[in-house]
Chain A
Amino acid sequence: MSIFIDRNTKLVVQGITGRDGSFHAKQMLEYGTCVVAGVTPGKGGQKFENKVPVFDTVADAVAATGANTSVIYVPPPFAADAMMEAADAGISLVVCITEGVPVLDMTRVYPYVQDRKARLIGPNCPGLITPGVSKVGIIPGRICTAGNVGVVSRSGTLTYEVVYQLTRAGIGQTTCVGIGGDPINGTNFIECLQAFEADPDTKAVAMMGEIGGTDEQQAAEFVRAHMSKPVVGFIAGQTAPPGRRMGHAGAIISGSAGTAAEKLDAFKAAGMGVAQRPADFVTLLHERL
Chain B
Amino acid sequence: MNIHEYQAKDIFRRFGIPVPPGDVATTPDEAERIARAYGTGVVVKAQVHAGGRGKAGGVKLARTPADARAAAQQIIGMQIKGLTVPKVLVTPAADIASEAYAGIIVDRASKRAVYMVSPAGGIDIEEVAATMPDKIMRLPVDPRYGLLPFEASRLGFFLYMDNAKLAREAAKIMRQLWQAFTASGGSLAEINPLVVTTGGDLLALDAKMVIDDNELDRHPDIAALRDETAEDPSEVAARRANLTFIKLDGNVGCVVNGAGLAMATMDLVKYYGGEPANFLDIGGSSNPEKVVNALRIITRDPNVKAILFNIFGGITRTDDVANGIVAATRDTPLTIPMVIRLTGTNEEIAVQILQQHGFSAMTDMDDAVQKAVRLATGGKAA
Q: Which residues of A contact B (CB under 8 A)?
A: 76-77, 99-104, 106-108, 110-111, 126, 138-140, 143, 153-161, 164, 181, 183-184, 208, 210-215, 234, 236-241, 244, 246-251, 255-256, 260, 276-279
**What sequence of 0s and 1s flags, for each residue 264-278 of chain B, a beta carbon within 8 Å of any chain A beta carbon?**
101111110000100
B335 at the interface (CB under 8 A from A): no
Residues on the B chain within 8 Å of A213, using CB = 108-109
Residues on the A chain within 8 Å of B259, using CB = 155, 181, 210, 246-248, 251
Q: How far is the CA of A278 from the CA of B258 in the complex (A)?
A: 15
B134 at the interface (CB under 8 A from A): no
Residues on the A chain within 8 Å of B284, using CB = 99, 156
Q: How far is the CA of A215 from the CA of B133 in the complex (A)?
A: 22
Q: How far is the CA of A225 from the CA of B270 in the complex (A)?
A: 33
B143 at the interface (CB under 8 A from A): yes
Knowing A104-B215, A161-B365, A184-B111, the reply to whether A241 touches B248 (Cβ < 8 A) is yes
Q: How far is the CA of A137 from the CA of B191 in the complex (A)?
A: 42
Are A77 and B218 in contact, with the CB atoms below 8 A?
A: yes
Can you report 22 A-B residue pairs in the complex whose CB atoms are below 8 A from each other?
Answer: A103-B106, A103-B187, A104-B215, A107-B113, A155-B259, A155-B260, A156-B261, A157-B260, A161-B264, A161-B365, A181-B259, A210-B259, A210-B260, A210-B263, A213-B109, A236-B261, A238-B267, A239-B248, A244-B246, A246-B259, A247-B259, A248-B259
Q: Across the A-B interface, how many residue pairs have beta carbons closer than 8 Å?
A: 161
Are A249 and B344 in contact, with the CB atoms below 8 A?
A: no
- For this complex, into which size category does the number of interface residues on chain B fall? 35 or more
Residues on the B chain within 8 Å of A210, using CB = 259-260, 263
Are B106 and A184 in contact, with the CB atoms below 8 A?
A: yes
Q: How far is the CA of A111 from the CA of B262 in the complex (A)?
A: 32
Q: For the complex formed, measure the closest distance between the CB of A154 and the CB atoms of chain B, giving whole angstroms.
A: 7
The 3 A-B pairs of least Cβ separation, nearest first, read: A155-B260, A247-B259, A157-B258
Q: Which residues of B contact A (CB under 8 A)?
A: 106, 108-109, 111-113, 126, 142-144, 182, 185-187, 212-215, 217-218, 244, 246, 248, 256-264, 266-271, 276, 279, 281, 284, 312, 314-316, 343-345, 365-366
Residues on the A chain within 8 Å of B264, using CB = 158, 161, 234, 236, 277-278
Are B267 and A101 in contact, with the CB atoms below 8 A?
A: no
Knowing A159-B260, A240-B279, the reply to whether A247 touches B113 (Cβ < 8 A) is no
Known: A104-B212, A184-B108, A215-B108. 7 other contacts (CB 8 A): A104-B113, A107-B112, A126-B314, A158-B260, A181-B259, A238-B263, A239-B263
Q: How far is the CA of A77 from the CA of B202 in the complex (A)?
A: 38
Are B215 and A140 in contact, with the CB atoms below 8 A?
A: no
Q: How far is the CA of A11 from the CA of B96 in the complex (A)?
A: 62
Q: How far is the CA of A194 from the CA of B188 in the complex (A)?
A: 33
Knowing A103-B187, A104-B212, the reply to whether A164 touches B261 (Cβ < 8 A) is no
Q: How far is the CA of A156 from the CA of B266 in the complex (A)?
A: 16
Are B126 and A255 in contact, with the CB atoms below 8 A?
A: yes
Residues on the B chain within 8 Å of A110, using CB = 111
Are B276 and A77 in contact, with the CB atoms below 8 A?
A: no
Are B257 and A246 in contact, with the CB atoms below 8 A?
A: no
Among A76, A139, A215, A256, which residue has its beta carbon within 8 angstroms of that of B214? A76
Residues on the A chain within 8 Å of B185, using CB = 102, 104
Are A103 and B314 in contact, with the CB atoms below 8 A?
A: no
Are A236 and B106 in contact, with the CB atoms below 8 A?
A: no
Knowing A157-B258, A246-B279, the reply to whether A238 touches B270 (Cβ < 8 A) is yes
Q: How far is the CA of A244 from the CA of B281 in the complex (A)?
A: 14
Are A156 and B215 in contact, with the CB atoms below 8 A?
A: no
Q: How far is the CA of A246 from the CA of B259 in the complex (A)?
A: 7
Residues on the A chain within 8 Å of B263, using CB = 158, 210-211, 236-240, 246-247, 251
Q: How far is the CA of A276 from the CA of B221 in the complex (A)?
A: 45
